[in-house]
Amino acid sequence: MKLIIKDSIKLILITICWLFSKNYSVNNNLKSFSEALNYVPIFIIITIGYYAGMSVCLNVINIKNCNKEYSEIIQDIDEARKFYTDKKINYN
């Protein structure tokens, strides 16, 4: 629950900063800057999505860090190979 509150506070602060920047640029006739600020939320969503995807991929690649899970997966793979060999089933 604490994590949700922390993330909500961060999101609210980012939104407030974005709105103040947007308001400042409109009041001071900075039209090109104001138009660029329209796309900031989209860039933030894309960046967070990219970060999440890369984090998952990195953790999958580095599964050897989890010794117990790594040994269980290797054991399951060996059992599957033995099963397919005993049943004379071709596998790739």
* pTM of this structure: 0.54
Q: Give me the pLDDT at residue 75, please.
A: 92
Domain boundaries, the chain: 1-38, 40-87
Helix segments in the chain, DSSP class H: 2-27, 31-37, 40-61, 67-86
pLDDT in tens, the chain (92 residues): 788 899 899 989 999 999 999 999 999 988 888 898 999 989 989 999 999 999 988 888 876 667 787 788 889 999 999 999 898 888 76
Region for 88 from its dihedrals, namely left if φ exceeds 0, alpha if ψ lies in -120 to 50, beta otherwise: left
